[in-house]
A and B are shown apart, each in its own frame.
Chain A
Amino acid sequence: SQTIHQWPATLVQPVGSPLSLECTVEGTSNPNLYWYRQAAGRGLQLLFYSVGIGQISSEVPQNLSASRPQDRQFILSSKKLLLSDSGFYLCAWSITGYYEQYFGPGTRLTVT
């Protein structure tokens, strides 16, 4: 069966520090991968999605970036965090041809 992992689970970082969040999927090949951010009490905002290695589409211009160095690995990065980057970051995957998305447990990021 397929599983999706995210780490770390929680993170507290000062403003201006770098960020690296990792997401990996097991049990499937060539998944579509997504990064979302969720503000408190709000819906999900799509940040990046990828349909293959090295193929990244950005939805929101900001100081975040994403990379997909391996088929089932998706990384969210920032060189310098802002206070507004605080939130709950969710990674998800889907199979090409299917609309359902499967989410990881999320990373709670607090920028201080």
Chain B
Amino acid sequence: SQQGEEDPQALSIQEGENATMNCSYKTSINNLQWYRQNSGRGLVHLILIRSNEREKHSGRLRVTLDTSKKSSSLLITASRAADTASYFCATDSTTDSWGKLQFGAGTQVVVTP
């Protein structure tokens, strides 16, 4: 079963708008990561947030983590057509062997010019 569940499943926005997607998970985690996948390609690591962090920024990306609600959000500001991709959250459970990640089903984002 999947640990992380992204919401929404799909998101369509115009260039310049912000895109927000959420991830919920079920167990205690060491950290949460976000990955991007362009169609037919491998995943690319975007950002990692540790369980003791609440917010992290990287360029146009902003990630928040609420461990009390077991949820995270990814915000992409001033989106560009090149941001069109699927975005996945991945969690590293404290009860799992080290290095094992559980991925959600992803949010498919389409940015139109």
Contact = CB atoms under 8 A, between A and B. Distances in A.
Given A44-B103, A94-B99, A105 B88 contact: no
B112 interface: no
Contacts of B102: 46
B101 A101 contact: yes
A106 B101 contact: no
A42 B105 contact: yes
Q: Is the interface of A mostly helix, strand, loop or mixed?
A: strand
Given A43-B105, A99-B99, A105-B41, 15 more contacts: A32-B99, A41-B108, A43-B4, A43-B104, A43-B106, A44-B43, A44-B103, A46-B101, A46-B102, A49-B99, A49-B100, A59-B100, A90-B43, A94-B99, A101-B43
Given A32-B99, A94-B99, A102 B45 contact: yes
Interface of B: 2, 4, 30-31, 33, 35, 40-45, 48, 88, 90, 92, 97, 99-106, 108
Interface string A21-63: 0000000000010101000011110100101000001010000
Contacts of B44: 103
A87 interface: no
